[in-house]
């Protein structure tokens, strides 16, 4: 097995410069990112095959806010992330989502504590989500918007990062499953002639390793002939395997 360990493309400073160059964020948000980098340390990137490049699809665990923030701060290629549409609509919807779903249902906070603290947290996170140019993900017929926007993103040469783990009851070290929405996106890509490389990745918060599996193309994965649920389960199982690896 070929293992390529990449801390940075050249140096840590170069990776940050590439991140700021490719991810064209507004000036105010670039300042926010510089501040966040003081608190969120860069993981050690490990690629079991080819290195992820622009125009890829990355399926990764969530680890609460850790994986989304890490991808935004340290990806050395242009990226856009999938995320809950509630965080991309209005402050009111973001506050409701964070108090009732994210902190109470998923993080298991006391609901009253969540409502109080989110008066401070939500304005900051809502501003952050606006800054990263989030791709809104939906659980209903509006998912078509997610698919079309994600396809246009890939066609522009930007990598799409998806967090497909089932997290209704919280975020766990061993993932309980993947939603089939990610597989639906692969099928949508194939339908429109996009055969992008797909990377399954696992961010280990304890070891600070971000492990990327050997990529498979969209066509390779769909040629397995599995149902959406079966392919989603296979990809989740591989993600969990990556989580057990140590280098």
Fill in the DSSP letter of residue 192. Answer: T
* Tens of pLDDT, residues 64-95: 889 999 999 999 999 999 999 999 889 999 99
Q: What are phi and psi of 182, to 5 degrees?
A: -65, -40
Number of structural domains (the chain) is: 1
pLDDT value for 14: 55
Q: pLDDT tens string for the chain (247 positions)? A: 445 555 444 455 554 555 555 556 778 888 888 899 999 999 999 999 999 999 999 999 999 889 999 999 999 999 999 999 999 889 999 999 999 999 999 888 999 999 999 999 999 888 888 888 899 999 899 999 999 999 999 999 999 999 999 988 888 999 999 999 999 999 999 999 999 999 999 999 999 999 999 999 999 999 999 999 999 999 999 999 999 998 8
Is residue 206 one of the residues assigned to a domain? yes
Is residue 69 one of the residues assigned to a domain? yes
Is residue 33 one of the residues assigned to a domain? yes
pLDDT value for 10: 42
Torsion of CA 22, 26, 27, 32, to 10 degrees: -90
Is residue 32 one of the residues assigned to a domain? yes
Give yes or no for a contact between 211 and 46, defined as CB atoms under 8 angstroms apart.
Answer: yes
Is residue 110 one of the residues assigned to a domain? no
Give yes or no for a contact between 61 and 37, defined as CB atoms under 8 angstroms apart.
Answer: no
CA distances from 159 to 105, 128, 129 (A): 30, 19, 17
Q: How far is it, in rounded angstroms, from Cα 216 to Cα 32?
A: 35
Pairing of strands 57-60, 44-47: unpaired
Residue environment code for 155-181, b if the CB has 16+ CB neighbours within 10 A, otherwise e: eeebbbbbbbbebeeebeeebeebbbb
SS3 state of residue 139: coil
SS3 state of residue 213: coil
CA angle 41, 42, 48 (to 5 degrees): 150
pLDDT value for 9: 46
Is residue 113 one of the residues assigned to a domain? no
Is residue 107 one of the residues assigned to a domain? no
What are the contacts of 187-192 at 24+ separation with CB within 8 A?
Answer: 187/222, 187/228, 188/147, 188/150, 188/151, 189/57, 189/151, 189/154, 189/218, 190/218, 190/219, 190/222, 192/151
Instruction: Return the residue matching tokens 């860069």.
Output: 42
The boundaries of the domain holding residue 174 are 4-92+125-243
pLDDT value for 4: 58
Is residue 104 one of the residues assigned to a domain? no
pLDDT value for 1: 41
Q: How far is it, in rounded angstroms, from Cα 51 to Cα 44?
A: 13
């Amino acid at each position: 097995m070929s293992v390529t360990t990449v801390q940075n493309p050249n140096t840590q400073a170069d990776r940050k410069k590439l991140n700021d160059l490719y991810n064209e964020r507004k000036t105010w948000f670039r300042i926010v990112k510089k501040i966040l980098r003081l608190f969120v340390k860069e993981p050690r990137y490990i690629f079991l095959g080819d290195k992820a490049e622009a125009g890829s699809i990355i399926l990764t665990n969530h680890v609460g806010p850790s994986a989304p923030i890490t991808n935004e701060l340290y990806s050395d290629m242009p990226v856009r992330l999938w995320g809950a549409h509630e965080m991309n609509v209005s402050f009111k919807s973001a506050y409701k989502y964070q108090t009732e779903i994210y902190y109470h249902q998923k993080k298991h906070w006391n609901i009253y504590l969540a409502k109080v603290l989110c008066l401070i947290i939500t304005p900051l996170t809502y501003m952050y989500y606006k800054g990263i140019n989030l791709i809104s993900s939906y659980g209903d017929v509006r998912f078509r918007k997610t698919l079309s926007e994600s396809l246009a993103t890939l066609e522009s040469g930007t990598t799409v990062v998806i967090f497909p783990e089932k997290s209704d009851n919280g975020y766990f070290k061993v993932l309980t499953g993947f939603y089939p929405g990610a597989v639906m996106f692969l099928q949508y890509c194939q339908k429109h002639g996009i055969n992008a490389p797909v990377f399954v990745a696992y961010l280990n918060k304890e070891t600070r390793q971000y492990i990327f599996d050997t990529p498979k193309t969209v066509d390779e994965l769909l040629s397995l002939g599995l149902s959406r649920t079966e392919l989603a389960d296979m990809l989740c199982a591989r993600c969990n395997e990556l989580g057990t690896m140590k280098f």
